[in-house]
Amino acid sequence: MIWDVRQKNTPVAKFCQSEGTQGRDCWAVAFGNSYNNEERVVAAGYDNGDIKIYDLKNMSVRWSKCVKNGVVSLQFDRKDIEMNKLVATTLESKIFCFDVRTQHPKKGFAQVVEKAHNSTIWAVKHLPQNREIFMTTGGAGTLCLWKYNYPVTRVEKDADGLAYGVPGELSLIQNSTLSDQPITSFDCDVTSTCTVDWITDYDWTLDGCRLSDGCQRRSISLFKNMGNRSSLLLREEEIAQIQEETGFTPNQIERLYSRFTSLDRGDCGTLSRDDFLRIPELAINPLGERIVNSFFQEDGLNDRVNFRQFMHVLAHFRPIKKNKENNLNSREEKLRFAFKMYDLDNDDMISKEELLAILHMMVGANINEEQLTSIAERTIVEADEDGDQMISFEEFCKALQRTDVAQKMSIRFLN
């Protein structure tokens, strides 16, 4: 049952077992998907391992799955955004992390499973400052700090063209034994100090209430002796992998991660197009939207970009250094990036209409239509070698063979 504190005596919603089926005990609930005034869901975990997501708008079961072990804790990574991730913990040491952004009609949601604590995992709590990070608490008095790492491609299509989610990975950042009693309740400080309160005992107790005899209440700094925030959220293995793929130095990667998180206003570990357009230089750039689109996959399946994808695009603008050229910042890749700025329909060809559209974006009403058309036609004539009235990538490269692309398409990144 779901209650509204403004309405006494009668629940606003009630979900019951189907007639003729055995009723189960509900052990955990979590609200989510509250990104507007209409959408709401509640996730419920049961003693038999069932997890159900109830759609409060349509009053129906949106999704269900059995994890075959009692579910004692549930939490969405953020309840006031469109459903993104849901974490569930169980009686027998299992953590289930579901990517609830993409639901396949048969496969459901992508998931990653980890085993930890060697005991009941009593609670899960996401860090308010970054929703990729969450803490779990164990029956043996242990705390585990986790990070969810998004895959390079978050959504793919099956043979029937239906979208399905791709699971990421969970990495353990830190673990510690803090008590000889189960840690049954847990919360994070929303300030930058990132402290947490937890309560140990066999009884569920809310922080802030008077504690019963035998309970212990303590506080700890999660980030103590762990360096700055960027180094905490990026593991050494991740930094090394991004360095190998992109050529950026570890210091540059941490600086850019700090910039990435500052743009992530939704604290969901990914950036939307609107996040990019908050950058003043992009907002006023006539080709701003084209530059932003370059960060997103051409198939349109992913409407958000994770940090690794973000770094792959930025790598195109690294200066080319002798004997240190990376595949992403080679002359060819810089030219390919520039080519895609003009290729509006992603057909690997630039037409006169596409050239005109880009010219309109760049000069606006400063040059009349007749002059713009003349420029576009002359460009096509000069670059088109096979007479198809289009410019291919090979023709584009030849037309710019005397241009210092390495200098014009390079940015000096601070170390």
Residues 310 and 192 in one domain: no
Q: Which domain holds residue 405?
A: 341-415
pLDDT tens digits along 90-110: 999 999 999 999 999 999 999
End residue of a domain, out of 226, 261, 287: 226
336 assigned to some structural domain: no
CA separation (Å) from 192 to 128, 229, 275?
Answer: 10, 10, 22
What is the average per-residue pLDDT within 118-139?
Answer: 89
pLDDT: which is higher, 382 or 235: 382
Burial class (CB in 10 A: 0-12, 13-18, 19+), 311: buried
What is the average per-residue pLDDT within 353-361?
Answer: 89
pLDDT: which is higher, 313 or 283: 313
Residues 141 and 112 in one domain: yes
Q: Residue 15 has what pLDDT?
A: 79
DSSP, residue by residue, 89-127: EETTSEEEEEEEEEEETTTEEEEEEEE-TTS-EEEEEEE
What is the average per-residue pLDDT within 14-36?
Answer: 84
Whether pLDDT at 216 is above 80: no
| CATH code where residue 252 lies | 1.10.238.10
DSSP, residue by residue, 52-74: EEEETTTTEEEEEEE-SS-EEEE
pLDDT tens digits along 175-199: 888 888 888 888 776 554 444 454 5
pLDDT tens digits along 288-336: 888 888 888 655 556 788 888 889 888 888 887 765 666 788 888 889 8
Residues 306 and 355 in one domain: no
End residue of a domain, out of 226, 243, 275: 226
**Cα radius of gyration rounded to whole Å, the chain:** 26
323 assigned to some structural domain: no
DSSP, collapsed to helix, strand or coil, labels residue 166 as coil
pLDDT band at 79 (very low <50, low <70, confident <90, very high): confident
Q: Residue 330 has what pLDDT?
A: 84
pLDDT: which is higher, 50 or 260: 50
Report yes or no: 341 and 273 within 8 Å, Cβ to Cβ.
Answer: no
pLDDT band at 75 (very low <50, low <70, confident <90, very high): very high
Find the Cα–Cα–Cα–Cα dihedral 232, 233, 238, 240, rounded to 10°: -40
327 assigned to some structural domain: no
Report yes or no: 320 and 329 within 8 Å, Cβ to Cβ.
Answer: yes
Residues 300 and 158 in one domain: no
Q: Residue 261 has what pLDDT?
A: 84
| CATH code where residue 170 lies | 2.130.10.10
Q: Residue 415 has what pLDDT?
A: 58
Find the angle CA(384)-CA(389)-CA(395) to the nearest 5 degrees.
25
Residues 351 and 382 in one domain: yes
Cα dihedral 311, 316, 318, 323 sign: positive
3 assigned to some structural domain: no
| Residue pointed to by tokens 């390919």 | 336
197 assigned to some structural domain: yes
Helix axes 307-314, 250-263, angle to 10 degrees: 120
pTM for the predicted model, two decimal places: 0.55
Q: What is the 8-class DSSP label of residue 327?
A: G
Q: With helix as H, strand as E and coil as C, how does 282-313 read?
A: HHHCCCHHHHHHCCCCCCCCCCCECHHHHHHH
Average the pLDDT over each of 117-126, 144-153, 210-219, 367-376 and give the range with the smallest value.
210-219
Whether pLDDT at 223 is above 50: no
pLDDT tens digits along 224-243: 333 344 444 677 888 888 99
pLDDT > 90 fraction of the chain, expressed in percent and rounded: 33
How far does Cα 220 stand from its chain's mean position?
A: 27
Residue 292 to residue 289: CA distance in whole angstroms: 5
Residue 171 to residue 266: CA distance in whole angstroms: 22
Domain count, the chain: 3
pLDDT band at 352 (very low <50, low <70, confident <90, very high): very high
End residue of a domain, out of 283, 317, 351: 317
